[in-house]
């Protein structure tokens, strides 16, 4: 480090850090009562950008600590325990910071020059406050799982797509969906990450009982197990089902349950999602349970529903999607569909079902299968509830003469279903016409208090992968790789 840098560090950066501390303290103790609602939101957004920029400095400081051998001198030995001891961090937080630093930091080479960050685009957006640490964490995970032998241009374009989507407002939790789509396009034949690799990683570990007798579970599910798990848990882990705390719990022995009884049990249910999953698994493992008589869930047999594109089916590559949003390779999906339980839907280029294969059928099965293929989940804008947790909603209410036809039905979760009404605060639903770019899909019209224009909006949450598929395929053609 030269004398100029030392002088600037001592006289400049220290003063800036002190100024940040003073400003933070002043804002923290300042009354915000005089701010309007709009001003309060703007302040939150500005502070979030500042916090993101400050958190981006972690990489620079971690590199500095490593180059000075501070972990070794402190006795911690490695960066993660050093950060935990020095900053009071959790093991997870410290590990995430180190992982981000390795990919987004600029390390000094033996020549003394700085080596550009591996993920320079993400690093720049992070430093500018355009994306959060959670965004970067997911981007790093996705990029490190991409095939190592793809062209550099392809890797750069994949990173750019992830960063741009994040900066445009995509939630961090949605990035893995985009990552799976990118991986499926860049590695259509599964030569890098395939079903055999996933099977080798599979495993569920049950830890030793603690002092209270409770045991911790962790592990990895294969996509096939996850698909089966989601299908069963959608019914038996729903509110009101298999409740250990209920005086009259509903168990798997009740294959046919009166809807009024279930609704009453759901209203009494105070369990969280994890507790409901635990109780459902306990009920399924009880002696005498017939796994072949699981009944139905929301008008459909308890089974796996698989959706795939015709082009992917013809090529034998790409991905299939379950009603709960899980992705499987085409080959694995076809193996599952060869049985009598799973349901297979094949779509054309416009997302219209061409084929429905199933082993069991009830009155509304065909319509619900088409809804799963078309809507993929709750249609309310911004909602990410999967199809397995949705009801078939009448766009024109049944009481008003609305038919139970596919062009008058939409998947809607219970929460947003209750928001549809004729009051001044109610939402309305419409099927969009031929003049709309989303023809045939369901549009939601917000109350006038939220949107005076009454513009119908669609939910893109469940269609993110499809939106970028074309861009990725075009890029793959430019890179000279074969897209799925």
pLDDT digits (tens, 9 = 90+) for 168-216: 888 998 898 888 888 777 766 656 566 666 777 788 887 766 666 678 8
Q: Which pLDDT belongs to residue 9?
A: 52
Same-domain check for residues 432 and 298: no
Q: Write out the residue range of the structural domain in which residue 303 sits.
A: 221-375
Same-domain check for residues 371 and 391: no
Residue 479 lies in a domain: no
Same-domain check for residues 112 and 139: yes
Q: Which pLDDT belongs to residue 360?
A: 33
Same-domain check for residues 358 and 415: no
Same-domain check for residues 263 and 325: yes
Q: Which pLDDT belongs to residue 44?
A: 87
Domain count, the chain: 3
Residue 95 lies in a domain: yes
Separation between Cα atoms, residue 228 and residue 217, nearest integer Å: 19
Q: Which pLDDT belongs to residue 83?
A: 92
Residue 268 lies in a domain: yes
Separation between Cα atoms, residue 35 and residue 193, nearest integer Å: 52
Structural element, H or E, at residue 321: strand 319-322
Residue 154 lies in a domain: yes
Distance from chain centroid for Cα 97: 21
Residue 3 lies in a domain: no
Residue 471 lies in a domain: no
Alpha helices, H only, 361-408: 365-375
Residue 26 lies in a domain: no
Same-domain check for residues 244 and 139: no
Q: Which pLDDT belongs to residue 356?
A: 47
Closest alpha carbon to 304 in 383, 385, 235, 241: 235
pLDDT in tens, 253-301: 555 567 788 888 888 888 988 899 898 888 877 655 544 455 555 555 5
Of the residues 346, 375, 404, the one at which a domain ends: 375
Same-domain check for residues 123 and 231: no
Same-domain check for residues 307 and 408: no
Q: Which pLDDT belongs to residue 483?
A: 42
Q: Which pLDDT belongs to residue 336?
A: 61
Residue 477 lies in a domain: no
Same-domain check for residues 225 and 365: yes
Same-domain check for residues 367 and 230: yes
Same-domain check for residues 341 and 267: yes
Distance from chain centroid for Cα 216: 24
pTM metric for this prediction: 0.54
Same-domain check for residues 63 and 147: yes
Residue segments in the chain with a per-residue pLDDT below the cut of 50: 1-8, 252, 290-292, 302, 339-342, 354, 356-363, 482-484
Cβ neighbours, 10 Å, residue 450: 9
Which residue in the block uniquely carries the two structure tokens 């080959």? 331
Which structure tokens are listed for 354? 């061409």
Of the residues 186, 209, 231, the one at which a domain ends: 186
Distance from chain centroid for Cα 279: 25
pLDDT in tens, 94-117: 999 999 999 999 988 888 788 899
Q: Which pLDDT belongs to residue 361?
A: 30
């Amino acid at each position: 480090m030269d004398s100029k840098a030392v002088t600037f560090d001592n006289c400049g950066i220290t003063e800036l850090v002190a100024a940040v501390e003073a400003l933070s303290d002043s804002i923290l103790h300042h009354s915000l009562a005089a701010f309007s609602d709009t001003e309060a939101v703007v302040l939150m957004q500005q502070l979030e950008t500042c916090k993101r920029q400050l958190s981006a400095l972690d990489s620079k400081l971690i590199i500095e600590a490593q180059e000075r051998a501070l972990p070794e001198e402190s006795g911690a030995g490695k960066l993660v325990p050093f950060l935990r001891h020095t900053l009071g961090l959790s093991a997870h937080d410290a590990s995430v910071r180190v992982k981000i630093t390795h990919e987004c930091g600029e390390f000094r080479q033996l020549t003394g020059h700085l080596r550009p960050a591996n993920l320079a685009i993400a690093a720049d957006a992070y430093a500018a406050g355009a994306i959060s640490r959670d965004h970067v964490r997911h981007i790093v995970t996705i990029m490190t799982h991409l095939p190592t032998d793809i062209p550099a241009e392809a890797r750069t374009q994949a990173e750019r797509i992830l960063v741009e989507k994040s900066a445009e407002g995509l939630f961090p939790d949605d990035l893995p969906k985009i990552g799976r789509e990118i991986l499926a396009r860049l590695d259509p034949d599964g030569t890098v990450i395939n079903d055999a690799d996933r099977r080798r990683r599979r495993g569920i570990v049950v830890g030793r009982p603690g002092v209270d007798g409770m045991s911790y579970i962790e592990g990895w599910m294969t996509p096939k197990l996850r698909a089966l798990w989601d299908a069963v848990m959608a019914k038996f882990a729903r509110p009101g089902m298999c409740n250990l705390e209920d005086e009259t719990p509903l168990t798997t022995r009740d294959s046919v349950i009166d809807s009024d009884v279930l609704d009453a049990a759901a209203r009494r249910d105070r369990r969280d999602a994890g507790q409901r999953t635990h109780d459902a698994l306990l009920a399924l493992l009880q002696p005498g349970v017939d796994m072949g008589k699981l009944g139905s869930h929301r008008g459909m047999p308890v089974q796996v529903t698989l959706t795939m594109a015709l082009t992917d089916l013809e090529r034998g590559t790409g991905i299939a999607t379950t009603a709960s949003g899980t992705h499987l390779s085409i080959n694995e999906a076809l193996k599952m569909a060869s049985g009598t339980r799973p349901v297979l839907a094949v779509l054309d280029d416009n997302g219209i079902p061409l084929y429905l294969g199933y082993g069991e059928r009830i009155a509304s099965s065909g319509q619900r299968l088409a809804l799963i293929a078309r809507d993929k989940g709750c249609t309310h804008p911004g909602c990410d509830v999967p199809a397995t947790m949705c009801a078939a909603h009448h766009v024109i209410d049944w009481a008003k003469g609305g038919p139970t036809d596919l062009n008058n039905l939409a998947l809607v979760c219970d929460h947003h279903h209750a928001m549809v009404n004729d009051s001044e605060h109610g939402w309305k639903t419409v099927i969009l016409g031929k003049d709309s770019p989303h023809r045939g899909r369901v549009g939601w019209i917000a109350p006038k208090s939220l949107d005076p224009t009454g513009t119908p909006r669609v939910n893109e949450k469940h269609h993110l992968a499809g939106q970028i598929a074309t861009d990725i395929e075009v890029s793959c053609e430019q890179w000279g790789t074969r897209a799925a």
